[in-house]
Amino acid sequence: MTNTILHLDASPRLSDSVTRDLTSKIVSRWPEAQVIRRDLAKTPVPQLTDAWIAANFTPADQRSPEQAAELALSDALINEVTQADTLVIGLPVYNFAPPAALKAWIDHVARAGVTFRYTENGPEGLIHGKRVILAMASGGTGAGSEIDFASTYMRHILGFVGMTDVTLVAADQMALDAETSLAKASGQIEELTLAA
């Protein structure tokens, strides 16, 4: 069965980007995969607006054509996620957290009643059966450390919408020892299994 990959990059650096290099290497591990490409730097996702929020909280069968249009991009982004078997997400760390471009994508994808819902037992994610590989790069932030609000946040929000199978490839603390950090990340990529 062909694996479908959503290849998502968020770094504003269109060249010499560590996360772009890592995501490309990861995706190349599945040469027969069908790839859905989303580049959040080349085609930015807009921030949420008052009109978007009003449309989102209007029941689907009561939305005006204008409200449906407000949610069209969000619907398309969610559709890309649901089509994919595997998500490969570039995660550059900016000031200890994901960049704004990636946060904007999350805000469009994490939608109450669509990708998660609230129940009497608490929130429930509605996106299941996905594998996620995060390709993180940072200057000084250690992956999983108490100041890492990037990979820890991504694991939380992905799990919140139901995606709990998350693998981290980390070229972290590049400012301290770039060569060792890149070698470690390359080793992690080599260890990735090709099964979906």
Mean of the per-residue pLDDT values for the chain?
A: 96
Beta bridge partners of 167: 133
Q: What is the pLDDT of residue 196?
A: 42
pLDDT digits (tens, 9 = 90+) for 118-135: 999 999 999 999 999 999
Q: Give me the domains of the chain, ranges plus CATH numbers.
A: 4-190 (3.40.50.360)
Full-model pTM: 0.95
Helix 100-109 × helix 72-83 angle, to 10°? 90
To the question of whether residue 11 is assigned a binding role by annotation, the answer is yes
- HEC string of 42-79 equals CCCCCCCCHHHHHHHCCCHHHCCHHHHHHCHHHHHHHH
- Cα–Cα dist 46/70, whole Å: 11
